[in-house]
Amino acid sequence: MKSLLKLLILFVLMSTNAQNIAIRGSVFHFKSDPEKSTDAYEYFEDGLMIIEDGFIKKAGNFNDFKDEIQDFEFKDYSGKLIMPGFVDAHIHFPQTEMIASHGKELMQWLDNYTFPTEGKFKDKSHSREVAQFFLNQLLKNGTTTALVFGTVHKESVDAFFEEAEKLNLRMIAGKVMMDRNAPEYLLDTPESSYEDSKKLIKQWHGKERLQYAVTPRFAITSTEKQLAQAKRLLEEFPDVYLHTHLSENKSEIEFTKSLFPEANSYLDVYEKAGLFAEKTVFAHSIHLSENEWQTLETHDCSIAFCPTSNLFLGSGLFNLQKAAQHNLRVAFGTDVGAGTSFSILETMNEAYKVTQLRKAFASEPESVLPLSALKSFYLATLGGAKALHLDRFIGNFETGKEADFVVLDLESTDLLKFRLQRCETLEEKLFVLQILGDDRSVLQTYIKGKPVLN
């Protein structure tokens, strides 16, 4: 018995010490928005980050406090780039198995591929299998936090949270609320959507690093009675999220107007329903009027910018510049499965192209500014954390933050290595990484100070 007790104590000590590590490498993180500050980031080419019990203790130059790490496990990633884990503000885990499905546009694509696929997720074992694969893909791509759609089935969200909890991930998810304009096998009711969501909130919201999002799919698939139940949930649980779609596609907007003729706009549907929570995240938000932009600013809403899915479905070009003018919180969303990659690096690549493409449709092309590399990496890290109201926990390497971070290999491909050798500034290197990087560039992902990739 004593021998067993000693082994258990040793195991606990080893598990604890594994989180007390010192990481050497090129350390890079943001302190603020690079478009609003001249001192927005810190970069330590030969840097050191000390982690205690899964939290950041210090980050700076290696020589400044290398003598403080004698009792720490030491990881040397010299020549590699270390930055906070990526944030994905909009993604559908059930759509993992239907990514890259050919479709004309959003509504037809939903009917032909999305709804039949989501019908499988009443089976919890199937949900668990896909959730495991999905989370593994996120981690392989350096994404450590995501805002996630489940399906209409309570089982899908239970399975997702169970798998995320095993990995100690900071994740937000919700059961889809959908009581019309979908196949019968995917419909709930206003009452059942309320009851199922309430049970999930009580079980999972605030458990470990998990949080809940009230998730009406979009206005088209929810009646006014169901939107009223979503409002009821937000009133009863004011610290949960509201996560839905907004103005992704022009035919979607017209359909919404026909269903809610009394509303002044698509966004007005949500406003009249009382769905502006403290933590509201709208995916897409492409085709907005000036009044809608102002309403989003008034309510301090967040937007998920989903370039790969917007291009894939031909939905339109998000106006990032306009969002900045209205002081809106913006983060990247991969939007798998309309989105074509789990990689935030590839998403940043497409985001740059979207901002460039907007010149072709502008009356004054010179007024359209392309997305900078600094802004891209800000949106993927600290900006993403701010958009999800999580910046007190994650997003940079300030003392006390959770140690979720990614180690990027700048020589992961021959082309990337060749091109970076010809870069002179940090911003130039970041831009090359943004355009040429992908999942191969992710050498390791850490969750609260622990490596998770084999």
Which tens digit of pLDDT belongs to each residue from 198-242? 999 999 999 999 999 999 999 999 999 999 999 999 999 999 999
Write the DSSP assignment of 195-252 as a string of letters.
Answer: HHHHHHHHHHTTSTTEEEEEEE--GGG--HHHHHHHHHHHHHSTTSEEEEEES--HHH
Q: Which CATH superfamily is domain 86-387 in?
A: Metal-dependent hydrolases (3.20.20.140)
DSSP letter at 313? T
Which amino acid makes up residue 434? Q
Could you tell me which of 36, 26, 84, 28 has the C-alpha nearest to residue 375? 36
The Cα 162–Cα 128 span in angstroms is: 8
Question: HSE-up of 9 (CA within 13 Å, CB side)?
Answer: 6
The three-state secondary structure class of 403 is coil
The Cα 306–Cα 331 span in angstroms is: 9
Encoded tokens for 397: 């390497």
Residue 214 Cα distances to 16, 141, 236, angstroms: 35, 26, 12
The Cα 298–Cα 296 span in angstroms is: 5
Report the b/e string of 4-31 with b at 16+ CB within 10 A.
eeeeeeeeeeeeeeebbbbbbbbbbbbe
Could you tell me which of 353, 348, 350, 395 has the C-alpha nearest to residue 375? 348
The Cα 372–Cα 379 span in angstroms is: 11
Instruction: Name the stretches of the chain with pLDDT < 70.
Output: 1-18
Give the H or E element holding residue 350.
helix 344-357
Query: Among all chains, which residue has been given the structure tokens 């004011």?
Result: 238
Residues composing the chain: 454
Residue 69 Cα distances to 21, 26, 45, 49, 450, angstroms: 8, 17, 19, 10, 17
Residue 17 is predicted with a pLDDT of 44
Q: Which CATH superfamily is domain 2-84+395-451 in?
A: Urease, subunit C, domain 1 (2.30.40.10)
* Location of each CATH 2.30.40.10 domain in the chain: 2-84+395-451
Would you tell me the crossing angle of helices 190-204 and 224-236 to the nearest 10 degrees?
20
Residue 454 is predicted with a pLDDT of 85
Encoded tokens for 206: 């605030």
User: 446 - beta bridge partners?
Assistant: 405, 451
Q: Are 375 and 77 in contact (CB under 8 A)?
A: no
Encoded tokens for 216: 């009406």
Which amino acid makes up residue 257? K
Query: Among all chains, which residue has been given the structure tokens 């999305």?
Result: 114
Residue 56 is predicted with a pLDDT of 98
Residue 130 is predicted with a pLDDT of 98
Which amino acid makes up residue 48? L
* Cα–Cα–Cα angle for 88, 283, 350, rounded to 5 degrees: 60
* Location of each CATH 3.20.20.140 domain in the chain: 86-387
Q: Are 186 and 151 in contact (CB under 8 A)?
A: yes
Residue 112 is predicted with a pLDDT of 94
Residue 13 is predicted with a pLDDT of 39
Residue 2 is predicted with a pLDDT of 45
The Cα 258–Cα 254 span in angstroms is: 6
- 408 Cβ contact list (under 8 Å, min separation 6): 80, 81, 82, 83, 142, 433, 437, 441, 442, 443
User: 91 - beta bridge partners?
Assistant: 148
- 73 Cβ contact list (under 8 Å, min separation 6): 17, 18, 20, 21, 22
User: 75 - beta bridge partners?
Assistant: 23
* Cα–Cα–Cα angle for 285, 291, 297, rounded to 5 degrees: 65
Going by their DSSP bridges, the two strands 55-61 and 41-52 should be labelled as antiparallel
Give the H or E element holding residue 282.
strand 280-284
The three-state secondary structure class of 143 is strand
Encoded tokens for 60: 């700076």
Q: Are 145 and 170 in contact (CB under 8 A)?
A: yes
